[in-house]
Structures are given as C-alpha cells and as structure tokens.
Amino acid sequence: MNKIKNIKFWIFDLDNTLYPSSTNLFAKIDKLMASFITKHLNVSTEEAILIKNDYFKKHGTTLNGLIKNHNIDPYQFLEFVHDIDYSFLNKNTKLNKEIKNLPGKKIIFTNGSRKHAKNVVSNLELDEDLFSIFDIVDSDFVPKPEKSPYEKLIKKYDIIPEQSLFFEDIARNLKPAHDLGMRTAWVINEDNWAKEGHDGVHVHFKIKQLDDFLEQCNLLIN
C-alpha cells in the first residue's frame, strides 16, 4: 500500500469496474453483441455467441474481431450494443466522494464508447467533470489488451506510469499496464473470461469493492 502515496494518475476501466458485475448491465450489452452478429453475419444465436466469445479472446474485443474479419462499421456496432436501459444503475455517493478526494488526475479508459461512458457516469451520479474519458475511438478501435492504446493514453495525458494506478476487472488487461510501469488493481470479477491470469505478477492489488479501496487510499494519502 506504500506506493499508493505517490499516485497522481487514477485510471479506471468502465464496465464491471466503476459499477459491479452483479448489476448485470454488461450482460445486457453482451446479449446485444450476439444479436448484432446474428443480424449482420446472418447466423443463428448459438453461432453468434461462439463468434462473439472467440473474437473477444483472439482480438481483445468482439468489435475488433468484427472489424478485422467482416469490415463492420464500428460506429453502427457501438450505437447498437449500447442501446440499453441504464436507469437501474444505482447512484454511488461514496464512490463519487472518494474519487473526488483523490489527488491528481482521473481518467476513464474503456474499450466502449464515450457516449456509453457518459451514460454510466451520469446514472451512477458521479460528477462528469471528475474524469477525462479515453474511449475506443481515441484508441483508433485498437482495444486493450493491445499495447498501443496504453501508449496513446500515456502520451495524451502526459502520464507518468510509475505514478499511476489502473483499475480493471479483466485481469489480462492489467498486463500491458504493468509492463509499462503502472501499478495495477484487479477489481475481482469471477467470470472465467475476466479472471484468466489474475494470479500473475502483473496484478498488484485485488479488490472487492472499489469505493472501499479508494477510501483506504484517501486515508493513507490525506
């Protein structure tokens, strides 16, 4: 925990990180991804799920696989899969307070779209001006865990990796952050696709509850 004192850049994944996977919000997006594939590739739902999971594994995101293999329009895909009801995401006053109290810069780093990030932030009732948002368009549609979006992120915000802490629920996405010198925190997600590799040296902290962890950080720093 000692190295927390030096942190000046707080970087957050969005889905299943700023809100818990138990909300099932991401499951709804996941379902829409399968439905998009069914329509656009003209396959059955079962096949669509297989394709979705296979692309996620091989290409970092389903979208990236669809772009590479089927020349899908990414904007059309993002509009479609984020057309969900956000209203059941509960406001998180504690999370807002703790993020606000952290010293330094806060950034959302997501494989999703800016619009989706803003919807999540506003439904959690987090102050929108707390964060900069670095989305999949900023990454030129190259997703985590490819190295280039991390490098672009670092460049864009003049991040000093050794003074940054990255929170993410997909354990493999922490590897490039660690390799570039960042501190990393795995927000525990028990889904198999998320926890693969969580025992590696690239995972520095394992946390159950983001707001509780940030509270501890604030107690240590302030």
Residues that bind Mg ion in the complex, under the rule CB under 5 A: 13, 15-17, 169
Nearer CB in complex with Mg ion: 102/187: 187
Nearer CB in complex with Mg ion: 15/30: 15
| Strand ranges across the sheet with 132-134 | 132-134, 105-109, 9-12, 164-168, 183-187, 205-207
Q: Which long-range contacts (CB under 8 A, 24 or more apart) does 17-20 make?
A: 17/167, 17/168, 17/169, 17/187, 17/210, 18/95, 18/108, 18/120, 18/121, 18/124, 18/126, 18/210, 19/89, 19/92, 19/120, 19/124
Min dist. Cβ of residue 16 to Mg ion (A): 4
Computed on alpha carbons and rounded to an integer, the radius of gyration of the chain in Å comes to 17
Here the tokens at position 138 are: 């900023």
Nearer CB in complex with Mg ion: 16/62: 16
Nearer CB in complex with Mg ion: 17/184: 17
Nearest to 99 by CA among 3, 12, 14: 12
Q: Within 10 A of 42 (CB to CB), how many other CB atoms are there?
A: 9
Min dist. Cβ of residue 66 to Mg ion (A): 19
CA dihedral over 112, 215, 206, 203, signed as positive or negative: positive
Min dist. Cβ of residue 220 to Mg ion (A): 25
Cα gap 9→7, rounded to integer Å: 6
Nearer CB in complex with Mg ion: 111/164: 111
Min dist. Cβ of residue 64 to Mg ion (A): 15
Min dist. Cβ of residue 194 to Mg ion (A): 7
Nearest to 19 by CA among 104, 100, 110, 103: 110
Nearer CB in complex with Mg ion: 41/207: 207
Min dist. Cβ of residue 44 to Mg ion (A): 28
